[in-house]
A and B are shown apart, each in its own frame.
Chain A
Amino acid sequence: MTAPLHEPTAETAPSAAEEAAVAGTEAKAVQGRSLGRIAWERLKRDKLALAGGVVVLLLIAVALLAPVITALVGQDPESHHEDLIDPLFGTPIGSFGGISGEHLLGIEPVNGRDIFARIVYGARISLLVGFLSAIVAVIIGTVLGILAGFFGGWVDALISRVMDGLLAFPQLLFIIALVSVMPNDMLGLSGTGVRLLMMILVIGFFGWPYIGRVVRGQTLSMREREYVEAARSLGAGRFYILFKELLPNLVAPIIVYTTMMIPTNILTEAALSFLGVGVKPPTASWGQMLSSAIDYYQSDPMYMVIPGVAIFITVLAFNLFGDGVRDALDPKGSR
């Protein structure tokens, strides 16, 4: 713990403030820089986490620019190319699942849709569900977590019981149950739209206890601190204390748990689409592609490998980045 947080090196000449910080005590160093700054300094030294972060940014760019990217290679995710399919076996003509200059990652069996374009569009579904359901979870979890920690008593008992219950039960099964009883059209949406909305809400709903538990614990330990007491003695109301005094101090743990939740959500979306309760064809989703690939894992293994690798890289990148963010924001961490 005696090691300075930031070691000056030849190429990063430290500014006067940083020099003082390094020379001074650790407490002083922390005082001199914001939490974000400290975290960034630590994150910068974590090469794996940075690599994860770069991949995440690339994926977001791919998802946003999906139409542009597919237009550049002259393909789209829903056109059929039956002429490139072996009529006897239903598999693509050519080696490695029909990979060619035209079709960068080959084509799907039977209907010959371009796999590259479907992977690019699939990134949209994965990231959309991953991020939005995390946001749903953060909102519910933060609000209920703060309420439980701050008010204590029966409010806390009730919320904590609900969180324990939700955490204990097999989520995938409950999500399947909920998604399968839901209507095919609601709120003016239908088809893929309604399925996406359902997945986002349901995954978010089952994710909030993870955030809620952490927020509750932090709130519980902070509500008796001097600065809260000071605010109270100055006549601050409950809600002022909740949102102006406590919430800013919860930002770090909330960020950490959100980053770690996104890859799990992406895996859940893929699993749901794999099982056929998520996004359905012709809309492209990685999980759904893997599910159709089951029947061809012997005759056309590339069809299975490509979406699998896409999920793996995405989730791994988010996990690496998330672990890095956690270590960087952890006040106890000396790594």
Chain B
Amino acid sequence: MLAYLIRRLFAAAVMLVVIILVVFSIFFLFPKWAGVDIALSFVGKQAGPDAVEAVRLKLGLDDPVFIQAWEFFKGLFAGRTYAAGGDVTHCSAPCFGYSFRTEQSVWPVLTERFPVTLALALGAAVLWLIFGLAAGVLSALKRGTLWDRAAMIVALSGVSLPIYFTGLLSLAIFSHGLGWINAEFVPLEDSFTGWLGGMILPWITLAFLYAAMYARITRATMLEILGEDYIRTARAKGLREQVVIRKHAMRSTMTPILTMLGMDIGALMGGAILTETTFSLPGLGQKVLDAIRTQDLPFILGVTLITSVAVLVANLVVDILYAVIDPRVRLA
């Protein structure tokens, strides 16, 4: 187990370095090749030529690429100081970048917004797991029945609806039309019930999309597994159907679902951009949208990096969980 753990951790560390390099390339290398003035896109046209020149110096954009990459990398772990002559800006570790436009370090802004994103993702995950799995398993067991068809049509519609459209519809119907819910976001510290009211529609909207995906995949996986020989064997040796389903079929069905769950939750740590935008939730995703509108690249960079790291960590956790559940994995 220890050897497996070390191997996994090492692989994750390598992957982390690759991710950092990829994100660096997206923001500093590609634009350079495409002939974009990076300093200008970091600070904006209205800032004036002097400010652009200062940013160019601070980011060291005229240095060789590998030095720039190293500075970027080092900043993440040891903090970074941007200097242009006497004008010095400090960004303490972990330095996910510095917005020259708003004169803020990226990291504190993101950590402040993170709880909203976390609450949205986890709440929705609970809902979609319950409903997605239940619908998928039932459909597989009752294949071809009216229930199966109805559930699969709902699921197919679910994956065909843009999430911001379902979000807007739910706002128009439940909040504005029927007046059941006051869908304004309220911070948890201010009022628990207010917070719950503000989160319920985003949770349901986000969970609906994922539940639809999970139901489709659970059904397909389960049907495949029910056709396997070991299920026939289990039935042949006289096990009760309930035991066959629960102990034999469900266990194998859960394996790919667990992987998906890890990845999906990891990816949502960067904010559900569309959901947060639709419901005006002040999470990471909404910050990305703001950053797009104000052309504030450091924030886009920061969120991209955080999300990638979250996916990496989620992957690692899932891998380790597997090894705990299934001893064969450790040897592979």
Confirm or deny: A17 has a beta carbon within 8 angstroms of a beta carbon on chain B.
no
Chain A residues with Cβ under 8 A from B278's Cβ? 294
Q: Contact at B34–A277, with CB atoms within 8 Å?
A: no
B contact residues around A270 at 8 Å (CB): 162
A301 contacts which chain B residues (CB < 8 A)?
Answer: 172
* Segment among A60-68, A70-78, A134-142, A316-324 that sits at the interface with chain B: A316-324
Cβ contacts under 8 Å, B23 to chain A:
177
A-B pairs, top 4 by smallest CB distance, nearest first, are A308-B165, A316-B160, A315-B160, A170-B267
* Cβ contact within 8 Å between A173 and B304: yes
Is A158 an interface residue, CB under 8 A from the partner?
Answer: no
**At the interface, yes or no: A169 with Cβ under 8 Å from chain B?**
yes
What residues on B are CB-neighbors of A176 within 8 Å? Answer: 273, 288, 292, 300
Interface segment, one of B24-32, B71-79, B245-253 = B24-32
- Docked Cα-Cα span, A170 to B23, in Å, equals 13
Number of chain B residues close to chain A: CB under 8 A: 45
A186 within 8 A of B: yes
A290 and B18 contact, CB distance less than 8 A:
no
Residue B277 at the A interface, CB < 8 A? yes
Q: Which chain A residue lies CB-closest to B306?
A: A173
Q: Which of A172, A178, A277, A311 counts the most chain B CB atoms within 10 A?
A: A172
* CB nearest neighbor in B for A181: B31
User: Contacts of B162 on A, CB cut-off 8 Å?
Assistant: 267, 270-271, 274, 287, 290, 308, 311-312, 315
- Complex-state Cα separation, A172 to B267, whole angstroms: 10
Decide: B27 and A169 in contact? CB cutoff 8 A. Answer: no
* Shortest Cβ distance from residue A170 to the other chain B in the assembled complex, whole angstroms: 4
Q: Are A323 and B156 in contact (CB under 8 A)?
A: yes
Whether B160 lies near A170 (C-beta < 8 A) is no
Residues on the B chain within 8 Å of A177, using CB: 23, 26-27, 300-301, 304
Contact, CB under 8 Å: B35 / A165: no
- How many A-B contacts at CB < 8 Å in the complex? 121
The answer to whether A297 and B171 have CB atoms under 8 Å apart is yes
Instruction: State how many angstroms separate the Cβ of A255 from the closest Cβ of chain B.
Output: 19
Do A275 and B292 contact each other (CB < 8 Å), given the known contacts A178-B30, A186-B34, A297-B176? Answer: yes
Q: Which chain B residues in 1-47 approach chain A with CB under 8 Å?
A: 15, 18, 23, 26-27, 30-31, 34-36, 41
Assess whether B263 is in contact with A312, with CB atoms less than 8 Å apart: no
In contact, B300 and A168 (Cβ under 8 angstroms): no
Task: Classify the secondary structure of B's interface with A.
Answer: helix
Minimal beta-carbon separation of B8 from chain A (angstroms): 14
**Cβ A173 vs Cβ B273 within 8 A:** yes
> With the chains together, A304 CA to B162 CA distance in Å?
12
Chain B contacts with A in 132-182, Cβ cutoff 8 A: 156-157, 159-162, 164-165, 168-169, 171-172, 176
B303's partner among A173, A274, A294 (CB-CB below 8 A) is A173
The answer to whether B297 and A180 have CB atoms under 8 Å apart is: yes
CB-based contact A304/B160 at 8 Å: no
A182 in the interface (beta carbon within 8 A) = yes
A170 in contact with B311 (CB, 8 Å): yes
Min distance, Cβ A132 to any Cβ of chain B, angstroms: 20
Does the CB pair A180–B300 fall under 8 Å?
A: yes
Q: What is the CA–CA distance of A320 and B152 in the complex, to the nearest angstrom? A: 11
Q: How far is the CA of A263 from the CA of B156 in the complex (A)?
A: 12
Q: Which residues on B sit within 8 Å (CB–CB) of A312?
A: 157, 160-162, 165
Q: B308 on the interface (CB 8 Å rule)?
A: yes
**In-complex Cβ contact of B159 among A174, A183, A274, A319 (8 A):** A319
- Contact present for B297 and A294 (CB under 8 Å): no
The contact string, 1 if C-beta is below 8 Å from chain B, for chain A 159-179, is 000000100111011101110
Q: Complex formed: what's the CA distance from A290 to B308 in Å?
A: 29
Question: Closest approach, in angstroms, between the C-beta of B55 and any C-beta of chain A?
Answer: 15
Residues on A with beta carbons closer than 8 Å to the beta carbon of B288:
173, 176
Chain B stretch 257-281: residues in CB contact (< 8 A) with chain A:
263, 267, 270, 273-274, 277-278
CA distance A117 to B152 in the complex (A): 34
